[in-house]
Amino acid sequence: MKTLFSYFKIVLGFIPFSLARIPYALTYKLALWKTGLSPSDLWPRNSYYFKRIVMLVSDLDLTLFVVKGNSLSQETKNRVSWIQRFLPLVGELNVVSEELTSKYVRFLPVLELKRDPILLRRIQLTLREAHEVEKFFFLWRMLWSDRKNLRSNPQMRKKKWAFHLESLQLDSDSFGKISNLGDFLKILDSQFECSTGYLQQLPLREDREYDSLRADLKLVFFLADWLGEVYQYNRWENEESWPTLEPRLHKILEYSLSWELWGVLTQLELETDLVKLYLHINGLKKISLHYSFDCYLPVLVEAEGLILNRMALSPKLEVFDTKGV
């Protein structure tokens, strides 16, 4: 049965976009109707925009745009929460502030922004060229998000990965030549000077585990998880024990911070666990200071202030002591 299902998913990858788009187009229209938003406020990005979806395998990623000077009403937040819960094809929903994005664009992940052409036109952003290290980290994030499909049916993702590799100016035919994920990771590692086999060491394959990773790799490639462990085991008071990073990993950490920053900015309006988000931002500040990325502090401080304002207005968070955090 598993084999038949695997073949079925491979077949889905050959369905033309004109047919594959139908359930996604209907989902998008339903999302617009339910939220009461217009296509100029809520739009699709990533695989749907670029016509690279695999029917019933790809997600419908959406961007909700907040014009400068505005904020989301509680009613809109509730309706957005509904579509996230009850429309199964809806994937990642980013709330993008025109003000914050325009102000801090130089710190944001260029390649992730390029996956949202409507946003770039809307704000009229001019993006710099991505550096090699940034391309490598973007590739890692795409691999991590797609790891389950790559493990089970890599050829089902041929369309997606040909597009990723083309966009990074890498050999798009290399994916068609591989028989397993390990071979693919080896090929990718060899194409980046900033990598010394990092992708092959990370838990992308089933025989690699997060717990067995070196501490420096955990910090750089799993920054949010590493921060969670620091809080869990109260390691803030012993920064001397934090990993020492070789120059290559130190550079990759900068783009890991950039990725986390984009995640923070796009979830400020929707995140319901405000204490968790506050602690995450505070942790990113400490990492920025410890590893000499002070340039990220202004945007993190502003995001922290916005969260504290939301916490002050929340009846469930009447008291929150930030001393010592």
User: Could you tell me which CATH class the domain 2-123 is placed in?
Assistant: alpha beta
Q: Is 197 exposed, middle or buried (0-12, 13-18, 19+ CB in 10 A)?
A: exposed
Does the pLDDT at position 78 exceed 80?
yes
pTM of the complete model beyond 0.95: no
Q: How confident is the model at residue 110 (pLDDT cuts 50, 70, 90)?
A: very high
Residue with more model confidence, 11 or 40: 40
Amino acid identity, position 195: S
Indicate the average pLDDT of the chain: 89
Q: CB neighbours of 186 closer than 8 A, spacing ≥ 6?
A: 200
Q: Which of 234, 227, 229 is nearest to 291 (CA)?
A: 227
CB-facing half-sphere around the CA of 45: CA atoms within 13 A: 25
Domain spans, the chain? 2-123, 130-208, 212-325
Q: How confident is the model at residue 171 (pLDDT cuts 50, 70, 90)?
A: confident
- pLDDT at position 317, please? 52
Amino acid identity, position 249: L
* H, E, C per residue of the chain: CHHHHHHHHHHHCCCCHHHHHHHHHHHHHHHHHHHCCCCCCEEECHHHHCCCCCCCCCCEEEEEEECCCCCCCHHHHHHHHHHHHHCCCEEEEEEEEHHHHHHCHHHCCHHHHCCCHHHHHHHCCCCCCCCHHHHHHHHHHHHHHCHHHHHHCHHHHHHHHHHHHHHCCCCCCHHHHCCCHHHHHHHHHHCCCCCCCHHHHCCCCCCCCHHHCCHHHHHHHCHHHHHHHHHHCCCCCCHHHCCCCCHHHHHHHHHHHHHHHHHHHHHCCCCCCHHHHHHHHHHHHHHHHHCCCHHHHHHHHHHHHHHHHHHHHCCCCCCCCCCCC
C-alpha torsion 254→201→140→158, nearest 10: 170
CB-facing half-sphere around the CA of 4: CA atoms within 13 A: 1
Does the pLDDT at position 323 exceed 60?
no
Q: Is 187 exposed, middle or buried (0-12, 13-18, 19+ CB in 10 A)?
A: middle
Q: Is residue 108 a contact partner of residue 258, using CB atoms and an 8 Å limit?
A: yes
- pLDDT at position 270, please? 92
191-229 pLDDT per residue, tens: 999 998 999 999 998 888 999 999 999 999 999 999 999
Q: Is 240 exposed, middle or buried (0-12, 13-18, 19+ CB in 10 A)?
A: exposed
247-273 pLDDT per residue, tens: 999 999 999 999 999 999 999 999 999
Residue with more model confidence, 110 or 322: 110
- pLDDT at position 319, please? 45
